[in-house]
Structure 1
Amino acid sequence: MIKDLRTLRVLLLQPKSSEGEELWQHLIRIGCQVQTSWPPPSVIPHNIDVVFAFLRPIIEGDIVWNWNADDPPAVLIAIVDYENPIIVEKVLRLRAQAVIGLPLRTFGILANILLSVNNHRREERLRARVERLTAKLKAHRDIDKAKGILMITNKMTEQVAYATLREQAMNKRTTIEAMALAIINASDLLKLQMPQTTDFAS
């Protein structure tokens, strides 16, 4: 992480102020690549690693900032100059990885950056793992459902249904998961196209 410090790209969100200038200079001193922006951009640039945001001017200016807290594009470190329910609620809603108070004390900023970046990267790895496991679970469910469709419509055993799925996937040069989904979609389409019959009892 220390070696990576000079490659970190930082976005400083703050209107022109002495505190912002002091923070900018300190970030430059510790080796970060820093750029500033105000008001906050609608989309955080994809090459930004860490965002420092001064919250009071955002709140007092009633500025709409579309920060995706569920899937943050970068590490978020909030800068606050006082605590009240509105500030605290904003910090929690944004899910900031760290909070730095004003007046600015440069001691601890480096540690906050490194810890926050490390935690953010770990969360990204966990999210990616969850997404992979979710996709794998869905694929298994689709294969089981497709096997069930083949077993019912063609009176196959489970083993034969799976072998058929695999063979069809190989013939069409696709994955067995994609083949299963195609069978499910085709089955659903046939159900939609079947005419609805009414049984008139005499």
Structure 2
Amino acid sequence: MTTRTPNFTGWRAVILSEADGNTDRLCRQLGLLGIAVSIQWTPLAAADLPDLVLIDADRGWDELLLFSDAAPACPVVALLGSEAPGRISFALRHGAGAIISKPVAASAVYPALVLAVSIHAERVEARRRIDHLEERLKLRPIVFAAIVRLKAERHIDDEKAYAILRDCAMRRRMPIEQLAAFFLGGSETLREVG
């Protein structure tokens, strides 16, 4: 997947951390990138989801973010000064696509943002593909039923019945599951094949 380097101008970011020297450096660097920044050490509100979240993974707790299970609603960057496995696990569990180590170095901010945005886009696309495939999988019994009906009506084997469905679907540029449903519903006779 080729990803363009994002332009962050006009983005909104929330830093979930207590204000300190690290947040000062982050705010300065994010501002240079055109990102409007707010700092809070209270749970993120669902009504006001930013474009980007940076979270202090050293001190964060589960309720600080509205999402978990590595399926964040927006790109997440973890701020991490500890090598503790539990803190790294916390960052991963909350969908961090990148880590900025503390103390924050200005040169680490932009690459981490680009990486987090890219990882988030890949996760969203993967979830979309999985959802699509799961939906098609749910419809497989309809395709099977259409194959059984074609076999009975035309006295052909499984392979030939499937080939008829597939070829008709390809000719009409529609998913085979949709064509099978039309065929079973009686609105499609598949006359042009066989």
TM-score where L is the length of structure 1 = 0.63
CA displacement at 1:20 relative to structure 2: 1.3
- Match of 1:5, SS state, is coil
- 2:142 aligned residue: 143
- 2:39 aligned residue: 36
CA displacement at 1:76 relative to structure 2: 1.0
Q: What residue ranges of structure 2 are gaps of 5+ in the alignment?
A: 166-177, 186-194
- 2:82 aligned residue: 82
Change (3 A) 1:42 1:178: farther
- Match of 1:135, SS state, is helix
Number of equivalences: 164
Query: Which stretch of structure 1 is more off in the superposition, 66-75 or 18-27?
Result: 66-75
CA displacement at 1:106 relative to structure 2: 0.7
The structure with the larger Rg is 1
1:54 aligns with 2:53: no
Change (3 A) 1:70 1:55: closer
- Match of 2:7, SS state, is helix
- Match of 1:56, SS state, is coil
Q: Which amino acid aligns with 1:80?
A: L
Q: Which amino acid aligns with 2:130?
A: V
1:106 aligns with 2:106: yes
CA displacement at 1:100 relative to structure 2: 1.0
Given that 1:143 and 1:176 are in contact with CA atoms closer than 8 Å, whether structure 2 keeps it comes out as: no
Q: Which amino acid aligns with 2:78?
A: A
Change (3 A) 1:85 1:44: farther
Q: What is the percent sequence identity of the aligned residues?
A: 21
**Root-mean-square deviation over aligned CA pairs:** 3.4
- Match of 1:53, SS state, is strand
Distance in 1 of aligned mates of 2:5 and 2:132: 30
**Match among 2, 19, 30 for residue 27 of structure 1:** 30
Q: Which amino acid aligns with 2:142?
A: I
Distance in 1 of aligned mates of 2:84 and 2:107: 24
